[in-house]
Structure formats: C-alpha cells, structure tokens
A and B are shown apart, each in its own frame.
Chain A
Amino acid sequence: MTELLRVENLCKYFPVEQGVLTSRIGRKVHAVDDVSFSINAGETLGLVGESGCGKSTTGRCVMRLLEPTSGTITFDGRDVGSMKRTALKAFRRDVQIIFQDPYASLNPRMTIGEIVWEPLLVHGIGDREERRNRVKELLEVVGLNPEHINRYPHEFSGGQRQRIGIARALALQPKLIVCDEPVSALDVSIQAQVVNLLDELQDTFGLTYLFIAHDLSVIRHISDRVAVMYLGKIVEMGDWRGLYDEPHHPYTQSLLSAVPVPDPVKQRTRERIILQGDVPSPIDPPSGCRFHTRCPIAQFPKCAEEEPPLAEVAPDHRAACHFAKPFPINLQGGSADAG
C-alpha cells in the first residue's frame, strides 16, 4: 500500500488574547501538540476524542485551512507546508472536506446545483454543459434526485443536506476527504444511511478518509486504523481491532467503557471505569503525561514529570503511557450466555 498522507510533529498553538488593547504574548492554547500519523491510500483513519482534544484542528491543519505552528505534512510525496499558490490550488483539488453541520455549511442563497457546481467552476473543469451533467451525475451518486438541482438547501432534510455536502466534496474527484463529524448532527436512522453512503463511495472511487468523530461506535465501524486524542496529543493509535479489543491506554479504556451499549443485560453487567473530573484546560496542560490528573492508574512522581512516548505495544498498535497494559474490554457482559 502506498502512503498518501504523512503528518509529522504537527503543532498548532493559538494565542490567547486578553483585554482589548493588550494582546499578551506567551499564553497559548496548545490545541495540537506534536501529533504524527500517516494514512495509506484507500484507508480510513479514525480520529476520536472528546471536545477540545484537537481532532478538528488536526483535520484543518492537514488541509492547510489553518497554518500549523510547526511540523510537516506530506501529501502524495509533496510537502504541503511549502506549497505556493498554484501547487496549493492543485492540492486543494485532491483534498476535500465534509463538515459537521449540514445547516451551516451550505450557502442558503445558492441552489444545490450551484453549490456542487462551484468547485468545478473554480478549478475550470469542463464547459457549461459538461459541468451541468457532472453535477447531475454527482447528485445521483449520493442518492439525491438530479431533478432537484434548482432547489435550495432549506428544502432538504438534515440527511439530504449532508448528501449535498458529500456531492460537493466529490466534485473534483479528490484522493483524500477529511470528514469532520459528518454524522453527529443526524438522527440514528439517517446517520446509518450516510455512513453506508461514505462506505460505498470509498469502494467505488478508491477514496481515503481522515474521519473525525467523537462517537466511538461510528469510528469503529468506519475505520481501518484509529487514533485516540486527548488534550492535543495522540495517546493511542493502531489497527481498529487491536485498539477496541485490547486498548492499552487508560484513557482509551475509560472512553470505551463509558459508552453505554444498547443492550440492557450487557450494560448491567459490564465493568465500567468512570473518570473523575473534567478535561484540564489546554492553555496550561498538565506536566508529564497530560492524562495524569484523571488517570486511575497514575503513579507519582513519574507520570507527572515524564512525558510518555507513543511506543509500540503490539504490532501496529502504539500507546503513550508509562504503564500501558492490555485491558480486554469486557463488552460481551459478565453473564455467561447459555447458547
């Protein structure tokens, strides 16, 4: 498999502005701090974490919608950070994004035809007639009626709008699509439709996804590999099966055990780790391991002083914890099933 995207030591700090006149230099939000990963062509990497962990910022840095503070991003063998206008425009053809909110990410004054058409126009693809046909084709691909080309976004439901967003992302035949919480605003029955559509499109067009979400079940369903983020850092990363069956990092373990499963008997009998307290502020992240303030297995002073590296714990499975150990999550419930 060929590597499509490589992110190395990515950092993104946002300055904290205080007061009207004094923009004090020094205090920064460490949104993304030394994050490295790679995605192979045709693969889906799931990026999961709670709000404020830096997963969306990572996605935006990858697309250069945000300028990284430091670190390198290599796409298809080229350095994204040093791209100038023409190269960057070409890069933007190859990398597209689907946003979370299907209500806010479509211009209400444009018809859905115009919305899907715009990328083709910007990149000067085809003539008028060809573009029009392409738009119709795209609407059909995402399961919308091509005759609705002249309707406005408000005439569609949430799930249908998300399909419009997907058609727009597909218009330029990208290689990589950053999916930033694409289904979290949708009802479950509609969420499943969109997840299945994304799956199908990946097979049909050989797409690569960076799939960002906070829902661990959705991430597990769609991802080949998964990275778990906490306070700007990747704390665990690996093949989906290893990570879900035998999480090594206590944060991943508590995340997985905190998600209620839709099965009353399992839910009553399974073991749960309930974390205490809230996520600390990313302005002054905790020293050493950032998770040590909430960690059920932290040992002091080591965890508060020394930052654990993201080290290999099993083949294609890395965790950043001094005391990483496999923890088989007992999701099947404690009851011995007869039959």
Chain B
Amino acid sequence: MPALLEVKNLATHFTTRDGIVKAVDGVSFTLEQGKILAVVGESGSGKSVTALSIMRLVAEPQGRIVSGEVLFKGDDVLKMNDSQVRELRGDRIAMIFQDPMTSLNPVFRVGRQIGESLVLHKGMSRKEAFERAAELLDMVGIPHPRERARDYPHQFSGGMRQRAMIAMALACDPDILIADEPTTALDVTIQAQILELMMEMQERTGAAIIIITHDLGVVADMADDVMVMYAGKQVEYGTSDQVFYRPLHPYTWGLLASLPRHDVDEKGALRPIAGQPPSLINVPSGCAFHPRCPHARGLCSADAPELIDANSGHLAACHISPDERLLLQPPGRGGGVR
C-alpha cells in the first residue's frame, strides 16, 4: 500500500524583480497514517511554501512548482487537473492557517463557513451543513454552539476563531491536516488549549498532521517526527527524540542552544547562531548554512551535502563525519544519552 503522503524532491520557485527565489529546493519526506510531523525553521526557510505546494495553493504565475512529486495515496497531486485538486482540498487534505483574524471571511456567519465544505464535498443541504457545523463547534469546545454558529467572526475571540478554523478543517474528516503556525498569534494559555484540542481531535479522527512552527516547545509537545529546514532545504529529519536528544546538524544545534529555557535550573548563556539568515536569491554556495556554521570547512562552501541516513531513519545533510560529530556535539543539551 502506498504511503498516505509522499513528497519527492519538491521544488517551488518564485520569480521576483530581483531574481528567482528558491523558496523550496528539493524537499522529500513521507507521512504515514496517524502521525504528526513537525516542520521547523526560521522565517524564510520554506516551511509554509512547502505546505502551500502540497495543497497546490502557490500563487501563480510568480510562484511555480518547478519539480517533484506529491503523492497522496499514490496519486500525484501535482499532475491533477483543477477539479481533481478541488476535490482533494478541504475534503482529504485540510489546512489551518496562522492568522485566525484574517483567514475567516468577515461577511459570512461562522456556521456557514464551516458548513461550506460539507455542502461542496458531501452534498449536504445548507441546513444540514449548518446543523453539522454547530456539532463541530461543540466538539472543538465552543459553548452554546448553536447560537455561536450564527455569529460573525468578529464576535469571536482569537482562540475561538482558531477553534472555528479547526472545526472547519475537520468538517470532512480529512486524512491530512496541515497546520501552519496554528498558535503563533495566540497567548500561551490559549495556545495550550488549542494544542490540546488538536491532539485530542487527532486521536479521535486518526488524521495525520503536518504542523509548521518555529517554536521548538510546540514541536516537543506534539511531534512524532521532525523536519528541520534551512534556506529551502531539509537539513535534518528524524523522530522527535532523535532530533532533540541526538541532533546531527550544526543548525539544529544552534537552534537548540539559542533558546532561553525555563525548564533548566541555572540561567545558561544563550549561544546564538552568528550572522543573518541568507537571501534566497543568492543562496550561499555548497551548504547554505556554511557562512554561519562554526564547524564549516573548505568542502562546505564548495559542495552541497546530500541528505543521508546517519542512523535508522535519522537523516542529516552535513559534511561532518559521524566520528567527528561525537567530538563536536554541544554539551548539556537534553543529555544526548537517553
């Protein structure tokens, strides 16, 4: 049986006045049924564009998926015609966006927006869909769901809007839920509610989740697998435990070392990554991270490292050899010995 979702060598480029932006440049991964994959990286690393490309939502003609395959249950989404893609979107693959303030339509009642996909994909009548929308709102923990379904988005708070977005995404019982920074705009206590809700829903429906975030705490909270991106490329991929406790790539080391932690006893000095993120128009030669990497050597600026399996499915794209890595690994990060 083919995997639920298999992305192979995906590349999405944007044409701008200043040149071609290689937002996503050769990304491959597999998502199995019921798993949670976190995509981590800083702004401009290509995590959102990866998600949009899977959904075929990249704005054309500036943006173009230039190569790759996105196999959903074996069928290539990139080769589908528009109506096939529309059948997939919202029905089999649903998306939750970062900003619940702007991703709901202000002129339609919340219930109608949630029910829209049911009318489109499940052939329900408006009325049935509205009823179902109220049930969904109840499921995501909105009090008085029948009345609230008649409200407009501005009558909802930020946390409630994000709940409504989740209800909308789950309406058709999708196989994959893509959540792009679902809690970034929310306060921590509300974030905790939403993450809890997403995991609860995932257990109930068995959907696979791709969560895109820059918050490593959220990753540790939810993810089974983690993909770390830098300048449009994957630099590391592994299970959550592998990436947090035995990280392989110097960029991942840098990310972990720059975080202030409130869960460790002493205030350790933060060790930031030097320099600035690269421009995606003039990506550094070889390994894109080499100008900021404390362990870079001649080879790194000449040759782009391949993503190779270092240890039972734990992949990294780095020239540092495994033996050398043992010596370099920054101390005191999660012990590294669990």
Contact = CB atoms under 8 A, between A and B. Distances in A.
Contact of A259 (B190, B217, B337): B217
B221 A267 contact: yes
Q: Among the interface residues B244, B260, B271, B334, which one has the most CB atoms of the partner chain A within 10 A?
A: B260
A160 B275 CA distance: 10
A216 B270 CA distance: 15
Nearest to B244: A264
A198 to B, nearest CB: 11
Given A189-B255, A196-B270, A267-B221, A258 B192 contact: yes
Contacts of B269: 196
Nearest to A339: B337
B267 A267 contact: no
A332 B42 contact: no
B263 A332 contact: yes
Nearest to B44: A187
A110 interface: no
Contacts of A264: 220, 223, 240-241, 244-245
A195 interface: yes
B254 interface: yes
A128 B272 CA distance: 36
Interface in A196-220: 196, 214-218, 220
Interface size class of A (residues with CB under 8 A): 35 or more
Interface residues of B, number: 50
A192 B191 contact: no
Contact of A189 (B190, B245, B258, B263): B258
B193 A261 contact: no
B204 interface: no
Contacts of B214: 187-188
Interface stretch (A9-17, A34-42, A82-90, A272-280): A272-280
Contacts of B240: 264
Q: Among the interface residues B43, B160, B262, which one has the most CB atoms of the partner chain A within 10 A?
A: B262
Contact of B271 (A192, A267, A274): A192
Which 8 A-B pairs rank lowest in CB-CB distance, beginning with the nearest? A260-B217, A192-B272, A192-B258, A221-B260, A262-B216, A189-B273, A258-B192, A50-B187
Contacts of B157: 278
Contacts of A262: 216-217, 219-220, 244, 256, 259, 261
B276 A160 contact: yes
Contacts of A153: none
Interface of A: 50-51, 157, 159-160, 187-193, 195-196, 214-218, 220-222, 244, 254-256, 258-267, 272, 274-276, 278-279, 331-332, 337, 339
Contacts of A274: 189, 192-193, 196
16 contacts: A157-B276, A187-B214, A188-B216, A221-B267, A258-B189, A258-B192, A260-B218, A261-B217, A262-B217, A262-B259, A262-B261, A264-B220, A275-B189, A275-B192, A278-B160, A279-B187
B74 to A, nearest CB: 31
A188 B43 CA distance: 10
Contacts of A337: 335
A189 B42 contact: yes
A220 B338 CA distance: 27
A192 B260 contact: yes
Contacts of A263: 220, 244, 263, 334
Given A159-B276, A214-B187, A260 B260 contact: no
Contacts of A331: 262-263
Nearest to B190: A278
A68 to B, nearest CB: 25
B184 to A, nearest CB: 11
A188 B255 contact: yes
